[in-house]
């Protein structure tokens, strides 16, 4: 499956109200009709938070909320972008001069990432111009990967306009790399699930090389997403990139402690692979090699035997050079324990014991505690929402996505679902300032959805 490209499907636009509305808006905007449509889904990460960029496997599923783009290739070398949401202004640029200013948070930059990634992959000097109208149903900055879905959608749009072929895996890898043009050092989970998702199954996603395996979720329970309505934009804040750097520094100190070639090591997974030991043993090595007190840049330099200048220019990214302290012990403890929880979660799904839902719920609860206490990527509203979900009948609940806001995901037995939804609504949303944007749901049950597609009007 992964070796194939995304599917192309004929569709009767008139039978799909959203597509029909998009077609009409496109017509009034550009004075013509779209040649084709592309969708790429958002995702919910069930377990495995902040570990993809450390080299570890994750367990997400696609959601039905998505990015949908209506497209018309044009003879000019101009890329014209518009959005159905009036909050996002129109944008146009020459296809030969794609500039992505990572200091400015602009919606169209995510489209440009996908466009530029495909353009550079094929080494094209004069790609085709196009008119595009974007419609998104993924709440922005909610931890359901709206930005990556837009990058993936744009990559598939560009590939389709060019008439080129790539496998889903190649597309995912190109889009993961090109999203870094906006300044986030992500790991590749979001783009992988957007292309590799299949209806009815979650995916166990491994990296280097990228591959996805089906994970059958237990029957008798559903995953419920609840939006804290606190927005967190990864590219807008330094939290995310500081965590990436803390993990990189922890990997280097652990490698040095174990007499490995630390200067070549970038990820925590590489240390485990080179030592050839289990995740449980890596937690013991972490206890032995790192101290819980934060590290100053000067102490890191002493540990590695390098100068402050070398640390700043050769290891730290531009946006983490002025960070005063780094918590290396806590971040490594989270990553190694979370990576182990992903493997346990997959095994419970495979073995399907009678108490599977309870076991999976407990792993999700452990994950949230680790995200809150060791990785410090939660916030008071997320912690409150997780507590409400658990007391309302969820077997397990945790933050999902980068954190610092966004959504929680809860595992809820089907027989208590209606009561669960009513209780959470009453306790968190009713009569409070916690409300989603118009037309977007704050609280909903979800099933594993399919991956990115091209639609041609039949």
* pLDDT tens-place string over residues 50-85: 999 999 999 999 999 999 999 999 999 999 999 999
Supply the pLDDT for residue 228: 94
Please check whether residue 254 is in contact with residue 266, taking contact to mean a CB–CB distance below 8 angstroms.
no
Instruction: Return the pLDDT at 437.
Output: 59
Cβ neighbors of 114 (< 8 A, separation 6 or more) are 150, 151, 152, 153, 154, 155, 156, 157, 158, 175, 178
What residues are paired with 398 via a beta bridge? 409
Instruction: Find the angle CA(408)-CA(411)-CA(415) to the nearest 5 degrees.
Output: 130
pLDDT tens-digit map of 221-254: 999 999 999 987 665 568 999 999 999 999 999 9
Rg of the Cα atoms in the chain = 22
Tell me the pLDDT of the chain averaged across its residues.
Answer: 94
Q: What's the pLDDT at 335?
A: 98
The C-alpha atoms of residue 365 and residue 409 are separated, in whole angstroms, by: 10
What are the DSSP calls for 232-273, one per residue? Answer: --GGG-SHHHHHHHHHHHHHHHHHHHTTS-GGG--SHHHHHH
Instruction: Express each pLDDT in 372-427 by its tens digit.
Output: 999 999 999 999 999 999 999 999 999 999 999 999 999 999 999 999 999 999 99
Flag whether pLDDT at 185 surpasses 90.
no
The sign one gets for the Cα dihedral 270, 274, 276, 280 is: negative
Supply the pLDDT for residue 186.
81
How do residues 418-457 score in pLDDT, each as one tens digit? 999 999 999 999 877 776 555 556 899 999 999 999 999 9
From CA 119, how far away is CA 331, in angstroms rounded? Answer: 36
The number of residues in the chain equals 458
pLDDT of 129 > 60? The answer is: yes
Arithmetic mean of pLDDT, 94-105: 88
Is pLDDT above 70 for 1? no
pLDDT, average across residues 188-208: 96
State yes or no: pLDDT of 215 exceeds 70: yes
Contacts 24+ apart (CB under 8 A), 81-90: 81/108, 81/111, 81/132, 81/134, 82/29, 82/30, 82/131, 82/132, 82/133, 82/134, 83/107, 83/133, 83/134, 83/135, 83/136, 84/22, 84/25, 84/133, 84/134, 84/135, 84/136, 85/135, 85/136, 88/134
Encoded tokens for 281: 């043993």
**What is the CATH number that goes with domain 8-216+449-457?**
3.30.230.10
**pLDDT band (50, 70, 90) for residue 332:** very high
DSSP reduced 3-state for 10: strand
Write down the pTM of the prediction: 0.94
Q: What is the rounded CA–CA span in Å between residue 207 and residue 58? A: 9
Catalytic positions are: 190
């Amino acid at each position: 499956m992964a070796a194939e490209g995304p599917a192309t499907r004929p569709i009767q636009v008139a039978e799909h109200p959203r597509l029909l509305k998009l077609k009409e808006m496109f017509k009034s905007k550009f004075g013509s009709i779209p040649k084709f449509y592309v969708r790429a889904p958002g995702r919910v990460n069930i377990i495995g938070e902040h570990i993809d960029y450390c080299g570890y496997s994750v367990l997400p599923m696609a959601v039905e909320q998505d990015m949908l783009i209506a497209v018309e290739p044009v003879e000019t070398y101009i890329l014209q972008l518009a959005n159905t949401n009036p909050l996002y202004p129109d944008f146009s640029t020459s296809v030969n001069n794609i500039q992505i200013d990572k200091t400015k948070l602009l919606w169209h930059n995510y489209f440009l990432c996908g466009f530029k990634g495909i353009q550079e992959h094929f080494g094209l000097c004069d790609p085709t111009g196009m008119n595009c109208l974007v419609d998104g149903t993924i709440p922005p900055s909610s931890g359901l990967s709206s930005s990556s879905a837009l990058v993936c959608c744009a990559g598939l749009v560009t590939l389709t306009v060019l008439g080129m072929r790539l496998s889903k895996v190649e597309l995912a890898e190109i889009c993961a790399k090109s999203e870094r043009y906006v300044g986030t050092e992500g790991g590749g989970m979001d783009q992988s699930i957007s292309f590799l998702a299949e209806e009815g199954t979650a995916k166990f996603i491994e990296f280097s090389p990228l591959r996805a395996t089906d994970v059958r979720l237990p029957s008798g329970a559903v995953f419920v997403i609840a939006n804290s309505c606190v927005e967190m934009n990864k590219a807008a804040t330094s939290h995310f990139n500081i965590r990436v750097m803390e993990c990189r520094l922890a990997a280097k100190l652990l490698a040095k402690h174990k007499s490995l070639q630390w200067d070549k090591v970038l990820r925590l997974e590489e240390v485990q692979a080179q030592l050839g030991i289990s995740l449980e043993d890596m937690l013991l090595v972490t206890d032995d090699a790192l101290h819980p007190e934060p590290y100053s840049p000067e102490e890191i330099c002493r540990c590695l035997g390098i100068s402050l200048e070398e640390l700043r220019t050769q290891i730290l990214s531009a946006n983490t050079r002025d960070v005063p302290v780094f918590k290396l012990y806590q971040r490594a403890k989270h990553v190694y324990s979370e990576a182990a929880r992903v493997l346990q979660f997959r095994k419970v799904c495979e073995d399907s014991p009678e108490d599977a839902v309870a076991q999976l719920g407990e792993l999700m609860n452990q994950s949230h505690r680790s995200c809150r206490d060791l990785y410090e990527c939660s916030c008071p509203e997320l912690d409150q929402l997780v507590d409400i979900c658990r007391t309302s009948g969820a077997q397990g609940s945790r933050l999902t996505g980068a954190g610092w806001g966004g959504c929680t995901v809860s595992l809820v037995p089907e027989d208590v679902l209606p009561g669960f939804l009513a209780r959470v609504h009453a306790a968190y949303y009713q009569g409070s300032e916690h409300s989603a944007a118009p037309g977007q749901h704050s609280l909903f049950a979800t099933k594993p959805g399919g991956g990115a597609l091209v639609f041609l009007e039949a």
